[in-house]
Structure 1
Amino acid sequence: MEDLIRFALVGLGVGAMYVLMAQGLIAIYRGSGILNFALGSIGMVGVYVEWELNVNRKLPFLVAALIGVLVSAGLGALVQMYIMRPLRHRSSLIRVVATLGILLTLQSLAILRYTSVPKSIKSALPVNRVNVFGDVFVTAERLILVVIAIVVTLGMYLLYRYTKFGLATSAVAENERVASSLGLSPNRIAVFNWALGSGLAGLAAILIAPIVTLQPTVMTGLVLAATATALVAGFRSFPLALLAGLLIGVCESEVNMQFPDLPGVGKAVPFVFIVIWMVVRGQAIPQRDYLLQKLPSIGNGRMRWSLLVTTVAIVGALLLSSPNVWVDAYVVTICFAILLLSVVVLTGYTGQLSLAQFAIAGFGAFVAGRLASTQGWPFIVCLVIGVTATVPLGILLALPAIRTRGINLAIITLGLGTALELIVFANQNLTGGVQGTLIDSPTLFGYPIDAGAHPGRYGIVTLVGLVLMVLMVGNLRRGRSGRRLIAVRTNERAAAALGISVRSAKLYAFGVAA
């Protein structure tokens, strides 16, 4: 019982950081209607600035932390003014993709500047142990974090409830056009909310860095757990976000205690919250605002054979004549192109935004690699089984799509994909221990195609695979199945009225894309 309470108190500290990040998400969403997946990376910039000033420049922690928070706030305001504002009339899918692009850009820049090696940071908060009762002790740092989360939540609630700024934000969220007619500036309000939300993200990152270490991927990953917190709060209620964040933190800590031999299970708790909440609260029939969104135009699927043949010939020549380092880059590009074709089917043809496609691809590679390593099966057999194994996973991801769509679907697929990474890919018990999965040199019908010894041959194999997938996707677009998917993308209600099974179309699209 004491261990249960002790781990619950430890989880409150982590949950408090989820709360701070979630408050930033809510502020930005209320002010601009955008789910900002880049918030964690914006907070990451603030904590690196604080670390640089405090550790390398020897500035006091409070001064360095204040500058870091202001840098995050300023960066958030700039993102809104110069990136998100021009996209304000585009669909929510495009705006979500834009925030993901910002996330990857900032994360890559941080890795180039500071590398991906974790950095240990000494906490500026007191870390002495506090006796709660009996033999239950917890560091004062965790309790202070909870107090900070409560104070910030109270401040945000009062700000948005009783001040002119909060009332103006609510007015813009309800009806931007009417608010503009009353003299309010939606753009200015959005900038202020982005600055406030990004500043909170910087504060959260600075406070949690001593607990989780300073690392670009860790900092940006915090926003995923915060998304679960904000989701439960409906992206509106600050007090509810406080309760949800603390609860998620406690559950995460308790799961880690109960399953110490399963790394990553505790971190998957927020994504379980996402799945359950979205499935329970989702709607099978889309709302009117989703139907009115403008989506990009799509091609007709017709092949320009001269262009295709010329491109294949040029790429094939490059694969056979270029240095190995360039061939490796070409092969990676070709593999990414194959992966992006799944996005074409799912998002381009069906209008479903899935952020789990890399996880699905990784699962197929995991299955094929383990079969080749443990069973010694031929390359082509493992390839076919690996591809086939992704289809049920894709259909499983499609089940929530029946009741969710748009941003909500992006959240749930990202959660499922991240949970798969944490539970399966990061589990050494499943991936072959410390050495990982060792695979013998592959052969195709007795012909060696090892990427290390024969990179050109392997590149030709991947190029052939890309051409086949391009032809398949083009044929899908021109066929009856493609027209059904496009009808669902255009208007689900109208498609259902014409006798098209929206449910079957989505399951089919997710299965093919997988």
Structure 2
Amino acid sequence: MNELLTFALIGLGTGAINVILATGLVMVYRGSGIINFAQGGLAILGAYTVFELRTVYEASFAVALVTAVVLVAAVGVAVHFLVMRPLRAAGPMSRVIATLGVLTIVTQVIILKYGAEQRTVPLPLPSDAVEVRSGVIVGEQNLYLAGIAVVLIVALTLLSEKTRIGHALSAAAEDPRAAAALGWSPDLLASLTWGLGGALAGLAGALFPATSTGFMSVTQMSVLIIGGLSTALLGQFRSFPLVLVGGLLIGVAQSLATRYVDQTGFADAIPFLIIIVVLIVRGRGLPVRGSATDRLPRVGNGRLRPVVLVPVVAGGLAFLALAAPESWFPALIVSMTFAIVGLSVLVLTGYAGQLSFAQFAIGGVGAFVAGRLVAARDWPLEAALPTGVLVATLVGLLFGLPALRTRGVNLAVVTFGLGFALFQLLFSNSSYTGGAEQTQINEPTLFGIDIDPITHADHYTILCFVTLVALAIMVANLRRGRAGRRLLAVRTNERAAAAAGVSVFQGKLYAFTLAAAIAGIGGVLLGFSYSTIVYQQLFRPDASISLLVLVVIGGSGYVFGPMIGALLAAGGVAVLPFGDAATNGESEIIAYLPLATGILLLATLLLNQHGIVDRMSAMTTAALGRLRRTDDATGPVADAPDDERQQMTVPPLVLEIEGLTQQFGGFMALSDVSLSLRPGEVVGLLGPNGAGKTTLIDAVSGFNRITRGRVSLGEDDITTWSPHRRSRAGVTRSFQSLELFDDLTVEENLLVASDKHDARAYVTDLVRPGRPVMSDTVVAAVTELRLAGLLGRHPVELSYGDRRLVAIARAVAGRPSVLLLDEPAAGLDTTERLELGHLIRRLADDWGIAVLLIEHDVPMVLRTADRVVVLDFGRIIAEGTPEAIKHNAAVHAAYLGHSAQSESESV
């Protein structure tokens, strides 16, 4: 028992550092809504500032501590004004990636000045042994650190709850606009919290040597962010008392694991294992504001031009086989393998919008399995390589499971933790990686060809080149195919994707699986490019971050983005202009390359967050446009006169809603609502704001799990069906806020809804995506709504009225039997409303669609509908013909607000 208590008390020191770091993370989040991945780097800056002042200038610890805290606080404020403020219009994902740039710059500056080796520093706190009780002896620094953490949390809690500025910060954490309405500048609050966050990071860094017996290094301190993130998560990024309890418990758990768990790396992996458990228990992600409006980098069209591709590939092969200097091969191999793993980032982040910090770790799994099979089991490479890729794919699938419950920045935290845990438990364990000799690869051959990277580096380089080209073509094919459109729909708007018939879960898991397979191939090629695979060095957790940085610089939405970014990989092609010394690692240029990439990342995000390739593409397009003087914005379909419009029919199915009740906690949004929608009939749904109209559409389309009741379509009970399954069965909807896929053209928006939803496309599109063909339903919808001239344009380029029409066209593109329209006339002028009313009647009369029309324009509803249903406080208070509703006293009292006679005259 005494031993257990001793190690628990020892853990208080580490736990206190977790608490101090986490409070800084919470402060930054409360003020600006950003999860600051640079917090650990700022702590390192604080630690080395104290080291410099105490060892070089012989300052007292008190002076060094105050100086470090003030300096790092100033850096935090500078980060806000120089980086985060200019990026305030960017999405949360871009701002989080910017913190990675800050992290890279800070850590690389420190490494350049002090090196990465471990240093001995004066202890910041007394460290004499203290006997807490008989048989329980611990270093007193642990008790001091715990006391500092407690005092800090009490002070911040009082600041938050008892002061005016604390109330403003709390309001900003919930709603920045509310804080602004109360007279507080969001910019002031953000700069204040970035300063406080920096100060707390500086304090944590200055105190860190107390937990490491006076030793520190950049590598050793780089893992601090892990404990801080997990602690902030347990505090839900807002509760300081929960941060205190959570941080100390994590420290205690790590200390006990060090003593009682005989597994290398398990103690270091505990914080993120806690993250996974919390996510599973909570069933939701980390609290990140603004994810619904995240602006993602632009995506290329994936078009391949054989007239350009074939000569380039042939020229590349000829150069590698006949002309490339032998000294270039190592750098080429590094850049090409980085580019291959970068293609996995393109699929996952660029196409599917899932931010992963674990792609290099997944690549390491492929290299680990293949390497161990070759080295320890004498497997041929022809069998080991696909086995390694297969295992990496399965691991990627497992990593994708959290994506079903979280997304964006939240997912980045989770995948970073999973990758770190994998590194600690597997790659850092020499008993798994081959012991002191590691994993040695002797004279590898592939299909009888010697590809030893030492003796036949040209063969190995050509193998990497061919693999890179093949995978790049597959990823480009994916973008142009049905599967690519599905992924982009999921990336842009998951609700709208599901409403268009796309399985969001299937799409996410496919993206993770395919990305893992690509990363596995890149990892195997990188690992086997060395005669001895040292997993702990090649597949470090920060390698995934460096990879993401490089891909973002190149352009995370373009196939060439990873290739451009990979040129800057450490030891890659970027060092070739500086001679053989740089290529062989003997030049200082390699040391400055990571710093340059960090600076370039911030410059890219500030100037053009879409990356270098996007800028090059825009310049090329503009130049070609000036030469051609043509406008290719029009699509392949011309508007047709009314008498030539194609007449469509849909399967005649009746939608029945029986006793539908929707309750949210103690609030009854809908109560015992029953109605039917019959083919060729327009049913208007009226009611004041808050009556439950949109809630009814959400329930019928599957976005809400109803409390009681039944929904049926034809003979099928669809009450428990998912939204995408209901859409495929014939129930589609529009949204009040349109929710179009802005990353796709108008034509692609319509194709997403009309494409076949077979799983086969996820495989066949990689090889042969085919040309997109608009179905007769889409052609009819385009003609009916006069959208032919807009097909090649993106929704953001259209007027609001045209965007409304595109939303309706997408809803009918899948040939639905039932169409649910949620305020389709909002924002339209009188003429446009009249035309919309005529269109809705044609959809019912000519196509046979059953239409439910929600609209605040009462005269339009009464002109258009066959029947009208009126909701008030979630209950149906009237139902009948438009004429009957006009003169219904209950309706006037609840909604119309004036006499039946005046309403009749207005209509």
If the length of structure 1 is used for normalisation, what is the TM-score? 0.95
Shift of 1:17: 0.4
CA distance in 1, matches of 2:216, 2:8: 24
Match for residue 74 of structure 2? Answer: 74
CA distance in 2, matches of 1:390, 1:349: 20
Where do residues 88-237 of structure 1 align in structure 2 (5 Å cutoff)? 88-212=88-212, 213-237=215-239
Q: 326, 329, 332: which one pairs with 2:331?
A: 329
Return 341-350 or 20-29, whichever deviates more. 341-350
Match for residue 466 of structure 2? Answer: 464
Structure-2 change in CA distance of 1:311 and 1:170 (3 Å) = farther
Match for residue 54 of structure 1? Answer: 54
Shift of 1:101: 2.2
Match for residue 278 of structure 1? Answer: 279
CA distance in 2, matches of 1:121, 1:369: 40
Structure-2 change in CA distance of 1:288 and 1:55 (3 Å) = closer
Matched AA of 1:137: I
CA distance in 1, matches of 2:315, 2:52: 47
Match for residue 479 of structure 1? Answer: 481
The answer to which structure has the higher strand fraction is 2
CA distance in 1, matches of 2:432, 2:107: 28
Match for residue 443 of structure 1? Answer: 445
Return 173-182 or 239-248, whichever deviates more. 173-182
Return 112-121 or 40-49, whichever deviates more. 112-121
Shift of 1:210: 4.2
Match for residue 295 of structure 2? Answer: 294
Return 83-92 or 451-460, whichever deviates more. 451-460
Shift of 1:57: 2.1
Q: 352, 355, 360: which one pairs with 2:354?
A: 352
Structure-2 change in CA distance of 1:161 and 1:504 (3 Å) = same
Q: 402, 415, 423: which one pairs with 1:400?
A: 402
Match for residue 422 of structure 1? Answer: 424
Residue-by-residue CA offset, 1:110-145 (whole Å, 9 max, x unaligned): 222222211122313111110011111000011000
Match for residue 264 of structure 2? Answer: 263
CA distance in 2, matches of 1:54, 1:310: 62
SS of the residue aligned with 2:298?
coil
If the length of structure 2 is used for normalisation, what is the TM-score? 0.55
Structure-2 change in CA distance of 1:52 and 1:319 (3 Å) = farther
SS of the residue aligned with 1:123?
coil
CA distance in 1, matches of 2:5, 2:288: 43
Report the structure number with the largest CA radius of gyration: 2
**Greater RCO structure (CA 8 Å; 6+ sep):** 1
The answer for unaligned runs of 5 or more in structure 1 is none
CA contact (8 A) 1:17 1:145 kept: yes
Shift of 1:105: 2.7
SS of the residue aligned with 1:434?
helix
Match for residue 741 of structure 2? Answer: none
CA distance in 1, matches of 2:288, 2:149: 34
Match for residue 508 of structure 2? Answer: 506
CA contact (8 A) 1:268 1:418 kept: yes
CA distance in 2, matches of 1:146, 1:323: 59
Return 295-304 or 307-316, whichever deviates more. 307-316
CA contact (8 A) 2:288 2:410 kept: no
CA contact (8 A) 2:125 2:210 kept: no
CA contact (8 A) 2:142 2:211 kept: no
The answer to which structure has the higher helix fraction is 1
CA contact (8 A) 2:21 2:225 kept: yes
Match for residue 19 of structure 1? Answer: 19
Residue-by-residue CA offset, 1:240-278 (whole Å, 9 max, x unaligned): 00000001111111111112x322101111011111112
Residue-by-residue CA offset, 1:11-57 (whole Å, 9 max, x unaligned): 11100100000000000000110000011001111211111111122
RMSD: 1.9
SS of the residue aligned with 2:132?
strand
Matched AA of 1:65: L
SS of the residue aligned with 1:58?
coil
Structure-2 change in CA distance of 1:487 and 1:206 (3 Å) = same
Return 23-32 or 430-439, whichever deviates more. 430-439
Shift of 1:171: 2.8
CA distance in 1, matches of 2:211, 2:307: 58
CA distance in 1, matches of 2:305, 2:52: 53
CA contact (8 A) 1:76 1:194 kept: yes
CA contact (8 A) 2:486 2:502 kept: yes
Shift of 1:179: 3.0
CA distance in 2, matches of 1:445, 1:423: 34
Match for residue 747 of structure 2? Answer: none
Return 101-110 or 361-370, whichever deviates more. 101-110
CA contact (8 A) 1:38 1:220 kept: no
Q: Alignment length, in residue pairs?
A: 512
Match for residue 251 of structure 1? Answer: 253
Return 495-504 or 42-51, whichever deviates more. 495-504
CA distance in 1, matches of 2:377, 2:399: 29
Structure-2 change in CA distance of 1:197 and 1:391 (3 Å) = same
Shift of 1:440: 0.9
Matched AA of 1:90: A
Structure-2 change in CA distance of 1:318 and 1:106 (3 Å) = farther
